[in-house]
A and B are shown apart, each in its own frame.
Chain A
Amino acid sequence: MLVFSQSLISGLLIGGVYALIGIGLTIIFGVMRIINFAHGDIMMIGMYLTYNLFTLAGIDPFVSVAITIPIMFLFGALLQKVFINRVLNALPQNQILLTIGLGLIMSNTMMLIFTSDYQILTTSYSSSSFRLFHISISQPLAISFVITAGITALLYWFFMKTDTGQAIRATAQDRDAAQLMGINVKRMSIIAFGLGSSLAGTAGALISPTYYIFPQIGSTFTLKAFVITVLGGMGSILGATLGGILIGVAESMGAVYISSGWKDVVVFVLFLLVLVFKPSGLLGKSRA
């Protein structure tokens, strides 16, 4: 029972970060019907940003999130304005090529600057943990979970209560109708891509004390984000939150009860099962 609760808690903690990555991807998809294949690479840039703020300026990774969030937002907004807005009406394969290309440029640029060596961001608390009801909880993961929960709550408030948040939802539900109501959909797309990038970058910042940092880490997370989003239902923020946590728990359980080498298998089996029995995702609506 202890082992079970232990792996459940660890899974939930990492699942929160996965949820952030998935929510970012799902917002971008919802508004623009574009799958951002550079998502993991944007997360990787968030990791390097955090790493450098820590090694060069000595800012704690959980404090530097306050810097990472706006910088990554601007980075994403710029990508949208300069590149993605141009292909909104293009063929899907061209959109895919564009985002894959952007991702390759990002990872190779980072490789040129920082080489492909693995970097480790070691804080005083990187490997410390505390006990709660006999369960050992990693301190950096616990802090990142609290930040994640805060960001997610803020995001829900933004989408449900503010005019801009509602306008982004409206754009996702019917782009033409949104335009006819006077909503500047190009601007909403820029904000949406900014938000998505900001969430990915933040997730990168939050896991940087516990993960190796290297330029090619992105692709693993793009795939993970994609699985999370499809699992939860494309375009559903609640679905991505649920999907992220589910994947986190599945990985953690798989590692404990089968073997750590098999944890990805558990995730993909779960993914296939959902695709077979509910192709629109857990909270997704089937599209005609």
Chain B
Amino acid sequence: MLKIEKLNFSYDDLKVLWDIDLEVHQGEIVTVVGSNGAGKSTMLKNISRLVRPNSGTITLQGEEINKLESHQVVERGIVQVPEGRKIFPEMTVRENLRMGSFIKSARANREENIERVFNLFPRLKEREKQLGGTMSGGEQQMLAIARGLMTNPKVLLLDEPSLGLSPLLVGNIFEIITEINRQGMTILLVEQNVYQSLRIAHRGYVLETGRVVLTGKGEDLLNDPHVRKAFLGM
């Protein structure tokens, strides 16, 4: 569904991504794991066109998306829930959700989608009128995911959804991601929490200093000696 081929990217003279090949099939959770600075978030920024790659192609259902503007990528069906949540602090929960359905194709079923995400996150319904900036980290993460779902995406990109959350909330977030996937959403998940994300993912890629060094089924990677040694401390 989403396919990245030979993606190269550098910030000025600093090369960050080297010949990245990656594919996400319909209905999958694919995770990209790696340590801080491996280039995971940069890869997502390339997909969302917040930055421009040096070379390589990115396609969604066969259509090249690496000539588009950011907002057009969202219109094609790829939405990113960014690292650090980036919710609109001076807007209420409902207004934040409304912004998720700003694109024309999502406006038609705005109310229906709001009901859907309120079912998924009952907490957000309770906080409907609260300003985004005054919510806790966990609530903000829920809002960020909910806001992303409001765009009616075909593929949901999640950038470090567990960052800065308590262990209990981390478990919660991963359960919710699994649930969203069970309802049919294709997910590309970027995480530093290697154990949790490989556990819920169908397939995974291990990124080290900008290169894909390993790829395989989630459970196989969990049992891989290199992964266990480098990321799980076993």
- Write the residues of chain A forming the contact surface with B, with a CB cutoff of 8 angstroms: 163, 166-167, 169-170, 173-174, 176-185
Known: A173-B88, A173-B89, A176-B82. A181 touches B50 (CB 8 A): no
Assess whether A163 is in contact with B102, with CB atoms less than 8 Å apart.
yes
A-side contacts of B107, CB under 8 Å: 163
Whether A180 lies near B103 (C-beta < 8 A) is no
| A166 with B95, Cβ < 8 A, contacts A180-B74, A182-B75, A183-B102 known | yes
Q: A163-B102, A182-B75, A183-B102 are in contact. Are A176 and B69 (CB under 8 A)?
A: no
Q: For residue A179, give the distance in angstroms from its CB to the closest CB of chain B.
A: 4
Q: Which residues of chain B have C-beta atoms less than 8 A from A178's C-beta?
A: 88, 99
Chain B residues near A176 (CB, 8 Å)? Answer: 50, 82, 86
Residue-wise, chain B 88-117 has the 8 Å CB interface mask toward A (1 for contact) of 111100010011101100110000000000
Instruction: List B contacts of A163 (CB < 8 A).
Output: 98, 102, 107
Residues on B facing A (Cβ under 8 Å): 48, 50, 69-71, 74-75, 79-80, 82, 86-91, 95, 98-100, 102-103, 106-107, 147, 151
A185 to B151, CA, bound (A): 17
User: Chain B residues near A184 (CB, 8 Å)?
Assistant: 69, 71
Nearest opposing residue in chain B for A174, CB measure: B86
Contact B88 A180 (CB under 8 A): no
B98 touches A166 (CB 8 A): yes
CB proximity of A117 to chain B, nearest CB, Å: 47
Instruction: Known A-B contacts: A180-B74, A181-B102, A181-B103. Give 7 more (CB < 8 A).
Output: A166-B98, A174-B88, A178-B99, A179-B70, A182-B71, A182-B106, A185-B71
Name A173's closest neighbour in chain B (CB-CB). B88
A179 to B86, CA, bound (A): 11
Cα A183 to Cα B107 with chains together (Å)? 13
Chain A residues lying within 8 Å of B147, measured Cβ to Cβ, are 181
B179 → chain A closest CB, angstroms: 22
CB neighbours of A180 from chain B (8 A):
48, 50, 70, 74, 79-80, 82, 86
Tell me which residues across on chain B come within 8 A of A182, comparing CB atoms: 71, 74-75, 79, 102-103, 106, 151
Provide the main secondary structure of the chain A interface: helix
Closest to A177 in B: B86
With A180-B86, A182-B102 known as contacts, the answer to whether A173 contacts B71 (CB < 8 A) is no
Residues of A within 8 A of B69 (CB): 184
**In the complex, what distance in Å separates the CA atom of A176 from the CA atom of B98?**
17
Shortest distance from the beta carbon of A121 to any chain B beta carbon, whole Å: 40
Q: Verify A181–B90 contact, CB threshold 8 A.
A: no
Closest chain B residue to A235 by CB distance? Answer: B90
Decide: B88 and A169 in contact? CB cutoff 8 A. yes
Docked CA distance A223–B202 (Å): 60
Which residues of chain B are within 8 angstroms of A169 by Cβ–Cβ distance?
88, 90-91
Q: Shortest CB–CB separation between residue A169 and chain B, in angstroms?
A: 7
Q: Give min CB distance, A93 to chain B, whole Å.
A: 21
Query: Given the complex of chains A and B, what is the CA–CA distance between A178 and B71 in angstroms?
Result: 9
Query: Out of B74, B86, B99, which one reaches A167, CB within 8 Å?
Result: B99
Of the candidates A169, A170, A182, A185, the one having the most CB atoms from chain B within 10 angstroms of its own CB is A182
Contact of A166 among B50, B79, B99 (CB under 8 A): B99
Chain B residues within 8 Å of A167, by CB: 99, 102
Taken together as a complex, chains A and B put the C-alpha atoms of A177 and B91 apart, in Å, by: 13
Given A163-B107, A166-B91, A176-B50, do A181 and B82 touch, yes or no (CB 8 Å)?
A: no
What is the bound-complex CA distance between A181 and B80, given in angstroms?
8
Most buried by B among A178, A179, A180, A183: A180
Inter-chain contacts of A170 with B (CB < 8 A) = 88, 91, 99, 102
CB proximity of B118 to chain A, nearest CB, Å: 18
Please give, as numbers and ranges, the residues of chain B lying within 8 Å of A177 by CB-CB distance: 82, 86-88
Task: Determine the chain A residues whose CB is within 8 A of the CB of B95 once the complex forms.
Answer: 166
- B80 surroundings in chain A (CB, below 8 A): 180
Give the CA-CA distance A173 to B147 in the complex, in Å: 15
Complex: A178 Cα to B147 Cα, angstroms: 11
Q: Give chain A nearest CB distance to B146 CB in angstroms.
A: 12
CA distance A166 to B86 in the complex (A): 16
Bound Cα distance from A60 to B88, whole angstroms: 43
Cα-based distance from A185 to B50 in the complex (angstroms): 12
Instruction: Provide the bound-state CA to CA distance between A122 and B213, in Å.
Output: 79
Give Cα distance in the complex from A173 to B99, angstroms: 12
Least CB separation from B75: chain A residue: A182
A181 to B149, CA, bound (A): 10
Please name the 3 residue pairs, one residue from A and one from B, whose CB atoms are nearest each other, closest first. Answer: A182-B74, A177-B86, A182-B103
Asked, given contacts A163-B98, A163-B102, whether A181 binds B91 with beta carbons under 8 Å apart, the answer is no
Contact partners of B48 in chain A: CB under 8 A:
179-180
Residues of chain B contacted by A179 (CB below 8 angstroms)? 48, 50, 70-71
